[in-house]
């Protein structure tokens, strides 16, 4: 039996053939998805709810490196990072559209692999793919996802609703995705210098998964509803804790105070950061891609999150004149600065 992997050129199918191939794998599950792929536009019935819409783009060489990111994982992540933005509005994602631009170095089988990850994510989160676009690219792979969600008008949560003295709460732990990226980049450098070397990924499963296969915090939205807790403001952590906290403060015309000792980090993240001679707190503040939810609640709601293994109170909102502050473990106060991801900064 031959070990040769089959390769079907995109030109063998053409654009419409590729769309038909993709559409044949998609099943509509949401009642609000009236019409999916196959017409000039999708048709969605919001069923009396407010709709929230978000778009995110992933560009090869900027947001991902295919030398160590499997296409299936990339497809999964592309969907999930968009759903995270919907959850950050306290909404439920219902539909997505997918636009792909790819060069002829990608065969049809690569598109299948990418969509396998996307379809798996959609199944996990109960979301329909209802449309999109495909075209050629001269600069590698580009993925653009638009996610559409729904929420009752009275439950929608913006970045701008925080009040002075509100508590700042975060789900999960931080910094893991960034340290997973450091491991992958290290092994890529080793491979370049010694192609026969085997990658050393042992003991890093958790942080590698945080980078390669992140999860949107659907469960947090369910927990908040169960606790009858409506955040006053909320955002997802894609660009780093410091950046996102400052967004909440800025949009709410407030200051913020974060306590270093309260920032939740997994022991694997801490130990790996130290192995790389990095400050774990800096990684948590500025690493990004954790896709946890950062939100504010009234002090009167503290008992609802107290003692929960899912939530950590890391600070509080202050008056605008107090600015953005980080209190270190010795009690010293420092200006909080956003040093995380910025798509337009020179790297």
Cβ atoms of residues 260 and 249 within 8 Å = no
| Structure token pair of residue 117 | 């990850």
**Residue 89's closest CA among 224, 284, 256, 242?**
224
Residues 6+ apart with CB under 8 A from 149: 51, 52, 53, 54, 83, 86, 87, 89, 91, 92, 93, 94
pLDDT in tens, the chain (347 residues): 445 568 888 677 776 677 777 777 778 888 888 877 776 677 888 889 999 999 999 999 999 999 999 999 999 999 999 999 999 999 999 999 999 999 988 998 999 999 999 999 999 999 999 999 989 998 889 999 999 999 999 999 999 999 999 999 999 999 999 999 999 999 999 888 888 777 778 889 999 999 999 999 999 999 999 999 999 999 999 999 999 999 999 999 999 999 999 999 999 999 999 999 999 999 999 999 999 999 999 999 999 999 999 999 999 999 999 999 999 999 999 999 887 555 445 54
DSSP 8-state symbol, 298? -
- Sorted by where each begins, the domain ranges of the chain are 10-154, 167-335
3-state secondary structure 98-152: EEEEECCCCCHHHHHHHHHHHHHHHHHHCCEEEEEEEEECCCCCEEEEEEEEEEC
CATH for 167-335, options being 3.90.650.10, 3.40.980.10, 3.90.230.10, 1.10.569.10: 3.90.650.10
| Structure token pair of residue 162 | 């925080």
β-strands 324-327, 255-259: how paired?
Answer: parallel
Cβ atoms of residues 86 and 238 within 8 Å = no
pLDDT value for 40: 65
pTM of the model: 0.90
- Provide the terminal-to-terminal Cα distance of the chain, rounded to the nearest Å: 47
Distances (CA, A) of 84 to 24, 56, 130, 156, 231: 27, 11, 18, 14, 16
Give the span between the Cα atoms of 219 and 119, in whole angstroms. Answer: 20
Residues 6+ apart with CB under 8 A from 23: 36, 37, 38
Class of domain 10-154 as given by CATH = alpha beta
Give the span between the Cα atoms of 146 and 239, in whole angstroms. Answer: 19
| Structure token pair of residue 119 | 């379809």
């Amino acid at each position: 039996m031959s070990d040769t992997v089959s390769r079907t050129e995109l030109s063998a199918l053409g654009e419409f053939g590729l769309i038909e191939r993709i559409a044949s794998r998609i099943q509509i599950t949401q009642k609000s998805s009236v019409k999916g792929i196959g017409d000039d536009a999708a048709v969605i019935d919001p069923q009396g709810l407010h709709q929230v819409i978000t778009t995110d783009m992933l560009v090869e060489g900027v947001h991902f490196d295919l030398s160590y990111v499997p296409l299936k994982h990339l497809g999964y992540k592309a969907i999930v990072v968009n759903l995270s933005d919907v959850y950050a509005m306290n909404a439920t994602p219902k539909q997505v559209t997918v636009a792909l631009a790819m060069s002829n170095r990608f065969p049809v089988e690569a598109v299948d692999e990418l969509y396998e990850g996307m379809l798996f994510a959609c199944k996990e989160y109960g979301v329909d793919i209802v449309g999109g676009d495909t075209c050629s690219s001269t600069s590698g792979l580009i993925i653009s996802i638009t996610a559409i969600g729904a929420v009752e008008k009275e439950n929608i949560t913006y970045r701008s609703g925080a009040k002075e003295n509100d508590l700042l709460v975060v789900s999960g732990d931080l910094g893991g995705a960034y340290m997973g990226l450091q491991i992958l980049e290290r092994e890529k450098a080793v491979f370049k210098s010694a192609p026969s070397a085997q990658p050393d990924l042992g003991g890093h499963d958790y942080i590698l998964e945080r980078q390669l296969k992140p999860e949107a915090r659907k469960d947090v939205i369910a927990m908040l509803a169960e606790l009858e807790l409506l955040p006053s403001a909320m955002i997802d952590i894609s660009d780093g804790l410091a950046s996102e906290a400052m967004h909440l403060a800025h949009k709410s015309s407030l200051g913020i105070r974060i306590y270093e000792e309260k920032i939740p980090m997994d022991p694997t993240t801490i130990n790996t950061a130290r192995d790389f001679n990095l400050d774990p707190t800096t990684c948590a503040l500025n690493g990004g891609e954790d896709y946890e939810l950062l939100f504010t609640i009234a002090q009167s709601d503290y008992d609802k999150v107290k003692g929960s293994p899912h939530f950590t109170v890391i600070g509080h909102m202050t008056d605008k004149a107090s600015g953005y502050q980080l209190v270190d473990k010795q009690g010293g106060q420092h200006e909080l600065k956003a040093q995380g991801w910025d798509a337009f900064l020179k790297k």
